[in-house]
A and B are shown apart, each in its own frame.
Chain A
């Protein structure tokens, strides 16, 4: 049955996320935007204490998307600081064995706050993930990693500030192309792994983004996720690469939900301000009678809704264990672009209030942009969507 009703329990959980965002994120939002590399230690401790609560767990269903929206309505940068295994955890969860899940994720139930990170991007391989040049060479009971990863979200917190881990994508056989790509779990403190550059960014400044260098970094053989074998079946690649893509199917709608949260923050700000000014948005009035402002606000609202529903659908399919590559990419494409535009438009509409750092709107515009870039740029998600709707391989549509 087509239904948009939330269960009372889901409503409670979403409300709890909303309250947390409002009470804990918003008051410090500006501070951590302006103090880029400072850690919100108290907040982190608070979140770590509450780690059992649904809002801080990685869920892959519509309600999880809605909780994410609420938290990112509060602050998308602080959202990324939530201690936990995050995207790296999703990779382990989706392609690891039971033992690996226990070994790497078990410790996230105890001790001090910790983080997981995921390192795919390299200086010369971003969108083109298959072009990565970090290598993993087998040496007896170990893998030896060499290479450089950039733009790793929460890499510093995961590896320097806690005993977390990073999931690293590397090639075990360059000649095998995609089939040779594998992912490996590298725990914090592993010799040969260095966190180097701490990026200064346009937005989401509360989160850290780092370069990680691997030089003869040795990890146990069993830290590989998925099969170590390189099956040269076809060019489309085998499990290793598919594992990365499967992770994206799960995480893209969550990133879309992050975007949507920022979009709603901007929309709420615009609507509250208009209300204070006594300006009404007249729904149902024919177009030719609307003011330009009403048109803009309605278009923003409709796009927010469109992005949100596409996201909820992708997550719902995930929760039903239905293949959702197409729908995930659709949601991410739409949400990244819609929210980029919504926040930019909001700054325009609010004029001096929009551009001023006295309010958070300008920050949201800066924060929002990342959602059109990470977890696949808008173009890459469009490309994935296009290939799916055309039933084309990557060779047929480059």
Chain B
């Protein structure tokens, strides 16, 4: 039966996350953006909510809840509404955990899943994006070559969140023409973590370039072992996650500019009482809702294990455009005040513009 109502349990989770986002994230996000740092304490607080470990089976130390991309999307939207950098930081371990959970071998699960079920937050991450024009996740330049009992990885990656502190990295590389994941533990020879990146947005999130130079990992570290992984499936999960997060960022910008427009008086009236402003806001609201519904639909298909490349990529592209449109208009509605860093809209515009680039930087 068609329904647009989250379950009671999902609503409880959303309320919990929203409270955290409104109370904790919104209190410090500007400071984080300015300093380029996220306090460990807020990550620990978030970690206690068990957003990642909840869907990991008890056998591996998780809470054994149902793994649901829809629930993940709801969480992703709420967290990103709070702040995108902090959201990506909090969810970063899922970049390793979910692919291992869904596609990993039993040995891989036993070894790596407990890591993200620890009471204390421990970083794990994934490296997909490569620093070149025309980057295409389906034809990676980073290569993996079997050599005896090992795989040899070579290539360059960028936008790898928390690479420097992560204990384990999931590195995507091309092997025989297809995308595969390789688990690389910290300290492996040939894994060279570069300088922290300086980006237009998500400034609070520490992201890194890294290079793989004759980096050797045991054969067992190929995600999914002999069978390998469903790379397209991972991409789709990521597209849905990012669409949900784009919705959250856009919603934040929409709400702020809506409230501002009702307060700000020009020519004797609140600017919201002019159609030029009000219609922008109406369209922002419509497109935010449309994106959310499309995200839910794609997530629903993923939960049913249906092929969803079309839906996931359509909503991702739609979300990319939507979040840019909405955050840009939010700046516009604040006029000169939108341009200065006293208000958050410029931050959301900078973060919003990034979604086209953020391939594979979040999964739900």
CB within 8 Å of B: which A368-398 residues: 379, 382-383, 385-387, 389-390, 392, 396-398
For residue A306, CB closer than 8 A to chain B, the reply is yes
Give 1 or 0 for each of A327-342: 1 = CB within 8 Å of chain B CB. Answer: 1001001100000000
Is A310 part of the contact surface with B, judged by Cβ < 8 Å? yes
| Docked-complex contact A313 and B318, CB < 8 angstroms | no
- Checking B272, B279, B286 against A310 with a beta-carbon cut-off of 8 angstroms, the contacting residue is B286
| Least Cβ–Cβ distance between A268 and chain B, in angstroms | 15
Interface size class of B (residues with CB under 8 A): 35 or more
Is there an interface contact between B282 and A306, defined as CB atoms closer than 8 Å?
A: no
Q: Is B213 on the interface with A (CB-CB < 8 A)?
A: no
| Chain B nearest Cβ from A72, distance in angstroms | 19
User: CA separation between A342 and B134, bound complex, in Å?
Assistant: 29
**In the complex, A3 Cα to B300 Cα: how many Å?**
7
Q: Which residues of B contact A305 (CB under 8 A)?
A: 294, 297, 311, 314-315
Find chain B residues with CB under 8 A from A2 CB: 3-7, 10, 70, 296, 300
Which residues of chain B are within 8 angstroms of A397 by Cβ–Cβ distance?
272-273, 275, 278
Bound-complex Cα distance A283 to B279 (A): 32
B216 interface residue per 8 A CB criterion: no
Known contacts A285-B136, A286-B137: does B290 contact A309 (CB below 8 Å)?
A: yes
Flag if B290 contacts A306 (CB, 8 Å). Answer: yes
Q: Across the interface, do B70 and A330 meet the contact criterion of CB distance under 8 Å?
A: no
Decide yes or no: A289 and B134 within 8 Å by CB, A3-B2, A6-B2, A7-B1 being known contacts: yes
Measured in the bound complex, the distance between the Cα atoms of B134 and A1 in whole Å is 40
Chain A 4-23 interface 0/1 with B at a Cβ cutoff of 8 Å (1 = within) = 11110000000000000000
A contacts with B, residue count (CB < 8 A): 46
Q: Which residue of B lies closest to A288 (CB)?
A: B134
With A3-B2, A309-B297: A389-B258 Cβ-Cβ less than 8 Å: yes
Contact B317 A287 (CB under 8 A): yes
The residues of A that contact B312 with a CB separation of less than 8 Å are: 284
Q: Is the CB of B293 within 8 A of A333?
A: no
Please determine whether B2 and A302 come into contact, CB atoms closer than 8 angstroms: no
Report chain B residues within 8 Å CB of A334.
286, 290
Q: How far is the CA of A333 from the CA of B278 in the complex (A)?
A: 14
In B277-326, which residues have CB < 8 Å from any A CB?
A: 278-279, 281-283, 285-287, 289-291, 293-294, 296-297, 300, 309-315, 317-318
Flag whether A346 is at the interface (Cβ < 8 A). no
Question: Could you tell me the distance between the alpha carbons of A4 and B286 in the complex, rounded to whole angstroms?
Answer: 20
Complex Cα gap A318–B231 (Å): 40
Quote the shortest CB–CB distance from A271 to chain B (angstroms).
Answer: 12
A286 contact set on B, CB distance < 8 A = 134-137, 359
Kindly state the separation between the CA atoms of A330 and B311 in the bound complex, as whole angstroms: 22
Take A1-B7, A5-B1, A330-B286 as given contacts and tell me if A390 and B315 are in contact as well, using a CB distance cutoff of 8 Å: no
Residue A312 at the chain B interface, CB threshold 8 Å: yes
- Residue with the greatest number of chain B CB neighbours at <10 A, chosen from A7, A62, A287, A306: A306
CB atoms of A386 and B318 under 8 A apart:
no
Check if A298 is an interface residue, CB within 8 A of chain B.
yes
Could you tell me the distance in whole angstroms from the C-beta of A336 to the nearest C-beta in chain B?
11
Any A CB within 8 A of the CB of B12: no
- Chain A residues with CB under 8 A of B300: 2-4
- Chain A residues lying within 8 Å of B275, measured Cβ to Cβ, are 383, 386, 397-398
- Of all A-B residue pairs in the complex, the 7 with the closest CB atoms, nearest first, are A306-B290, A309-B293, A386-B282, A386-B278, A385-B282, A62-B2, A284-B313
Residues of A within 8 A of B (CB): 1-7, 62-63, 283-289, 298-299, 301-302, 305-307, 309-310, 312-313, 316-317, 320, 327, 330, 333-334, 379, 382-383, 385-387, 389-390, 392, 396-398
Taking A284-B138, A383-B275, A383-B278 as known contacts, 11 extra A-B pairs with beta carbons closer than 8 A to each other, sorted by chain A number, are: A4-B297, A286-B136, A286-B359, A306-B318, A310-B289, A330-B286, A334-B290, A379-B279, A386-B278, A390-B258, A392-B273
30 A/B residue pairs, CB under 8 Å, sorted by A: A2-B6, A2-B70, A3-B2, A3-B3, A5-B1, A5-B2, A6-B2, A62-B2, A283-B314, A284-B309, A284-B310, A286-B135, A287-B317, A298-B313, A301-B314, A302-B314, A306-B318, A309-B290, A379-B279, A383-B275, A386-B278, A386-B281, A390-B262, A390-B272, A390-B281, A392-B272, A396-B270, A397-B272, A397-B273, A398-B275
